[in-house]
Structure 1
Amino acid sequence: MKSTSNQQKSCLIIGGGISGLIAGTMLQRHGIKVTILDKGRGIGGRLATRRIPYKSNGQGIFDYGAQFFTVSEPKFQQWVDQWLEQGLVREWSKQLSNTETTCYCGIESNRSLAQHLAKDLNVHLQTRATKITWDASYWTVETEKGNSFHGDILIMTSPIPQSLALLENSDITLPPQIKSSLEQVTYYPCLTVLALLDQLSLIPEPGGLRLKDPSLAWIACNHKKGISPQGFAVTLHSTPEFSETHWNTEDSIVVEKLLEIASSWLGSNVVEYQLHRWLYSHPKTVYGELYLDLQQPGLLMMAGDAFSAIPALDLSLNVEKATLSALATANYLLKQVELN
């Protein structure tokens, strides 16, 4: 229920990607009770890692979302420096970035960074929000499993089309100009293959390779990356053009096409594979501001990597974009709580 002036304020966050986790961490550090709801089985959103069993005693470990991240802003560098000191991330390679800046990745996996950020937060996974309601003094979020969560403040960090659909389903009307601006934000899709090989791939050190192929954009050896010691796990990201063309194509056909293109880098038999479809891989267009704040019917904010002045010039900057949006959102909310 809503807090009174002498009680702890509370915030509900829909979306457990890096934006939700950073905003939640900041707010909780300042005494706000945080609850994060995420529809996925694992925390982290596009900081995604998956395991595929291998033979009788091993497994392939795949970073299959964001492959690494780079830094261009001091505010984000401060966080990265802390993660380096804590042994959560490491420098991977400069040669993987288009801008030849340092590329960072999680030491255990990219999801391990998200898991660290989530460890002291109240997180509910496999919890899909279906309706939000402002009940005169607090927000209520209902889920498809019939549960309800309450909070003074609501932050939505899921991809903008998903947030708009939830608002519409909840009969919450946005100002026409704001709604129009949000509807103009679009995302690139990405078809991702997780291929487990029976031998080490031929992908050169340090284990990642940008391609100039019209269908295949990226291929990575997670074994050489250092996160899959027991299995020869390879991640393939298709280009946006291939993804859009083949979005509704049968999985086996998509996988066959991409593995054929990558064959010269594999040099080995594929023993298992999975296909993941990222409908909202990364923003094609952005909102133009670091966050959206709405005061009516209650205090509601939207944040994420699409809340930026300009689209990221390199995919590796989207983790930073999401973090900067989250930090701006949290700072704004802390000022609002102080004023009230």
Structure 2
Amino acid sequence: MTHHPLNRTDTTLPKIAIIGGGLTGLFTATLLERAFSQGNDKDLIPSITIFEKSRSVGRLATRYRTDSQTGKNWQWAFGAQFFTAKTASFQHFIAPWLESGLLQPWCAQVVNLTPANDSIESSDIQSKEQWNITQARYISTPKMTSWGRELADELQHTTIKFKTRVAPLAQYDGSITEKADKKTELFDDTGASLGYFDWVICTAPNGQAAELMADSNFAAQSRITEPQMQACYTLMLGWSDIAVLPKALSKDVQPEWDVAYLIDSILDRIFIEHQKPAHDDLLPSVTIHASNHWSEQHVDDDIETVQAQLLRAAQQALNWDEANAPSQIDSHRWRYAATVVNDSADKEAPSILVDEPHQWIVSGDWCAQGNIESCYQMAQQTVEAIYNLRKII
């Protein structure tokens, strides 16, 4: 009989490892703590460890620079710009942070923008829509990283180990297939043991997840690479003062806008950061996402070459000259940014991948729609799988 460490007759605290400290990992840890703090399981709240290869948590990435003269910041949300909450469950989950003001709805004015080209002298800007409370887009304030850090700080039974790369599960254990009913020992990339765990949950992007689970006899290995993921380049621009902004970004332009969808460009969207809620004290900051298709085609190109191409496209869109050129320029490459969603009728419902005998789970937003609400939905499924698989006597 397969042994489940969450058996209520087991007096030891179940140990759970989560690989990846993005939002899927943070949501999973949060929901696990909540699930096992209720009812008859409150004495068996799992001991959870999150292993994160970087120095911070959360997919809601923020980059900023401080101006030495004014002491003010340029700030760019260079990862996810916003998220939606379409299900009642996720709306209920985010409610406390909406009440505190850490999360806020962003009622942006949205336009379609066709950059200047051989046919038109300056960019053509046409109203598209205004985001509203009914189908709200939410941001985290004062930075997009603030929510992830708040989630991490509120965890009570979870340890987060930063700058820790977990090695592929089979790398240091040739007999792993014989240990289906025992705990899993994880190692870092130097070969040092990270400890034994009853459950291992991998929340990395699917390309990395496939590498982590390779040769481990993971039951659903072939399904990890089924979803296609595309890259995204982000360009970050800053100006020293509102007065030197190019006309396309000024308040004088009609229609006024906060978000632009690009037409006939390698760029996809432009976001004006300093016009977002609770961002009034920022220096003029603009974040630009290249199209996923173009980014994927150039994913292995030299980053400086890519930045130069993005900058030329941005200049065509925003029409600056030497006097209105940005004083701050930066870029970032996301190798795994967007999930290609298959809307075919025969597609299976989005779901995590579970190997019950090993007690391993592969999860992530890429298992579903590739957005932040998907992070929450996959975290829900993970907690249900672990909680329901415990043996009830």
TM-score relative to the length of structure 2: 0.75
DSSP 3-state at the match of 1:280: strand
Q: Deviations over 1:167-207 (max 9, x none)?
A: 11xx30234xx333322211011011122222334166663
The CA deviation at 1:98 is 8.0
Distance in 2, Cα, partners of 1:99 & 1:290: 33
CA distance in 1, matches of 2:141, 2:231: 27
Given the superposition, is the C-alpha separation of residues 306 and 275 from structure 1 closer, same or farther in structure 2, using an over 3 Å criterion? same
1:331 equivalent to 2:384? Answer yes
- Hey, what's the Cα distance between the residues in 2 that align with 1:114 and 1:277? 21
Structure 1 position 266, deviation (Å): 7.1
Query: Which aligned runs of 4 or more in structure 1 are off by greater than 6 angstroms?
Result: none
2:221 counterpart letter in structure 1: K
3-state DSSP of counterpart to 1:137 = coil
Out of 279, 283, 286, the position equivalent to 2:335 is: 279
Distance change >3 Å, CA 91–CA 274, structure 1 → 2: same
- How is 1:119-134 mapped onto 2 (pairs within 5 angstroms)? 119=153, 120=155, 121-132=158-169
Pick from 261, 266, 270: which aligns with 1:219?
A: 270
Whether 2:194 is the aligned partner of 1:148: answer: yes
Instruction: Say which SS state the counterpart of residue 148 (structure 1) adopts.
Output: strand
Q: Deviations over 1:225-257 (max 9, x none)?
A: 244734322211000122123223332332222
* C-alpha separation in 1, matches of 2:17 and 2:210: 17
- Alignment partner, residue 293 of structure 1: 354
Identity level (%): 25
Gaps of 5+ in 2: 37-44, 111-127, 171-175, 343-347
1:104 is matched with 138
Which of 45, 49, 74 aligns to 2:62? It is: 49
Shift of residue 280, structure 1, vs aligned partner: 0.7
Which stretches in structure 1 are left out of the alignment for 5+ residues? 313-317
**How far did 1:271 drift?**
2.2
Give the root-mean-square deviation of aligned CA atoms. 2.6
The answer to whether the 8 Å contact 1:93/1:206 transfers is: no
1:117 aligned residue? 151
Aligned to 2:18: 13
2:229 and 2:364 mapped to 1: Cα distance? 12
C-alpha contact (below 8 Å) 2:98/2:104 kept by paired residues: yes
So what's the TM-score if we normalise by structure 1? 0.86
Give SS of 1:270's match.
coil
Compared with structure 1, are the counterparts of its residues 59 and 150 closer, same or farther at alpha carbon in structure 2 (3 Å cutoff)?
farther
User: In terms of mean alpha carbon deviation, does 130-139 or 269-278 score higher?
Assistant: 130-139
Listed as ranges, the matches of 1:175-214 within 5 Å are: 175=219, 178-200=220-242, 201=245, 202=249, 207-214=258-265
Distance 1:272 1:199 in 2: 12
Once residues 25 and 265 of structure 1 are traced to their aligned partners in structure 2, the CA distance between those partners, rounded to angstroms, is 42
Matched, 1:89 2:131: no
Residue matched to 2:120: none
| 2:90 is the alignment partner of 1:76 | yes
Q: SS of the residue aligned with 2:136?
A: coil
Structure 2 counterpart of 1:259, one-letter code: L
Shift in CA distance, 266/230, structure 1 to aligned 2, threshold 3 Å = farther
